[in-house]
Structure 1
Amino acid sequence: MRPDLRAHALHWHDKTRATQMEFGLWQVWEAGWVTAILRGASITILVGLVSMAAGLVIGIVCGLIKWARIFPLSLLVDAYTSLVRGVPELLIIYLLFFSSVEFVTKVVTAFGYAGVAESGYAFVIAVIAIGAISGAYSTEVVRGALGAIPNGHIEAARALGLSGGRIFRRIIAPQMLRIAVPGINNVWQTTIKDTALVSVVGLQELMRISFIGANSTRHPFIFYLIAAVVYLAITLVSQAGFDAIERLLRVRTRK
């Protein structure tokens, strides 16, 4: 191809791509996709918060069991954490959803719902699956934090005649929280990103909305870029929050 024709073709190609990008961005705004994306982001955050809360409860209970070496419960906790951490997160979601969806569909239909999607079952599965995953990782965070507490502190409290409950409230819990915060932050960041996996069960969260928008408008790059920016914004705000908590705990520890 002649150099001048090649330059003209490249210029036209770049101009066409720019026009498509402008059209895509305008279409996102004009067709109401911004509202849908924000709604999906709110569901993502809700799933993350509820799952993380469930995971923390699981992590504290199981972490205490592992730390105290309560037999045979410690063996069950070891099996749980090994299983969850050894199996892909997506496979856990598939197993939970498809092992129960037929039964749940019959039940919710009998109660007058149009189907599983209307009943909110996808949200329940998302919370159970992501909560179980975050719980397994939170267990190791809590166990590690408890193990990092000097035994001398606990022995000194016992020597003073403090009860087990007061030792936990005054000595163990504050130190465990301060040590565990960075690890809990990591679990939270992972939990938020894992919520993208629940789009496979039809939950209308951020990733699912982005997928629908990409297929509907034929502008996948724009929608997935917007999703990436939203996920990044959530993680950055979360990081700032955890940094503030760490600073607060350090100040209280010095006092």
Structure 2
Amino acid sequence: MTSGMFELLGFGPQGWGLPLLKAAGVTIAAALCGFLLGSIFGIGGATLKLARPRALRLIGQAYTTVFRGVPEILVVYLFYFGGSVILTTLMNTGGFPGFYSLPSFVIGVLAIGIVSGAYQTEAYRSAYLRLDRGQIEAGTACGMSKLLLLRRIVAPQTLRFALPALGNIWQSALKETSLLSVIGLTELLRQAGTAAGSTRQPLLFYAIAAAVFLVIGRATGAGLNRMESHLAKPWRR
């Protein structure tokens, strides 16, 4: 029994070790790219919600309300089918008949990124509101430009305050990659399902997938904790 299990999980001709390893790499890549894209959306969304014009604040509020309230899998479907319709229409209008669709990885990254960005918006906004206004006023009084003020005071402290929330959002983005199997992306869960169906060992392969998710989450969580401790050093007494 044990030898058969190791053979199934090995890297030989009958083993599923290499496909599972590749799928884990796809999972990490999709989560990381989606989270980084979400950081761009999050910073932009926080900027809108902190803006003085009411119209900009309403746009930011609409973004976070919609994408925090809609189920993630529905966002994946909307991007998958909606993106295909839009791309096909544009290509057909340009004289290129046929059906066109973006790669599953790109769609997955966009879906994770826009959902992650909605949550990161609130993390960055809340962190910015916690800043010591006295430091900003002191920097301005010393003649700092807005760019220098952002680089030396605003950005480091905003990131420091936002990092605990960003850690939770990262874990959510990592788990959301399992939803991308519905659009054909061969990530960890889909590959585990394929292996389970081929070998009729669902418990083994789904347990392996759960363990890999747990290891990735713990390892990246430890890295974020170290970053949080590093950023907090200048303010420790």
Match status 1:28 vs 2:9: yes
Higher relative contact order (CA 8 A, sep 6+): 1
Look up the match of 1:53: 36
Look up the match of 1:138: 120
Q: Aligned letter for 1:95?
A: L
Deviation at 1:104, TM superposition (A): 4.9
2: CA distance, partners of 1:79 / 1:186: 22
* CA offsets 1:75-117 (integer angstroms, 9 cap, x no match): 111101100000000011011112233565796xx99xx985x
Match status 1:79 vs 2:75: no
Look up the match of 2:168: 186
Look up the match of 1:200: 182
2: CA distance, partners of 1:150 / 1:182: 19
Would you say how many aligned residue pairs link Structure 1 and Structure 2? 231
Look up the match of 2:154: 172
2: CA distance, partners of 1:78 / 1:194: 23
Partner of 1:215: helix, strand, or coil? helix
Relative to the length of structure 1, the TM-score reads: 0.82
Match status 1:66 vs 2:52: no
User: What RMSD over aligned residues (CA atoms) do the two structures have, in Å?
Assistant: 2.5
**8 Å contact from structure 1 (residues 211, 220) kept in 2:** yes
2: CA distance, partners of 1:159 / 1:115: 56
Match status 1:225 vs 2:207: yes
**8 Å contact from structure 1 (residues 67, 147) kept in 2:** no
Deviation at 1:186, TM superposition (A): 1.0
Look up the match of 2:132: 150
Look up the match of 2:80: 97
Deviation at 1:253, TM superposition (A): 3.6
* CA offsets 1:18-42 (integer angstroms, 9 cap, x no match): x4x7644533325231100000000
Q: Aligned letter for 2:124?
A: V
Unmatched runs of 5 consecutive residues or more in structure 1: 1-18
Relative to the length of structure 2, the TM-score reads: 0.88
1: CA distance, partners of 2:55 / 2:30: 32
Q: Aligned letter for 2:8?
A: Q
Match of 1:249 among 213, 231, 236: 231
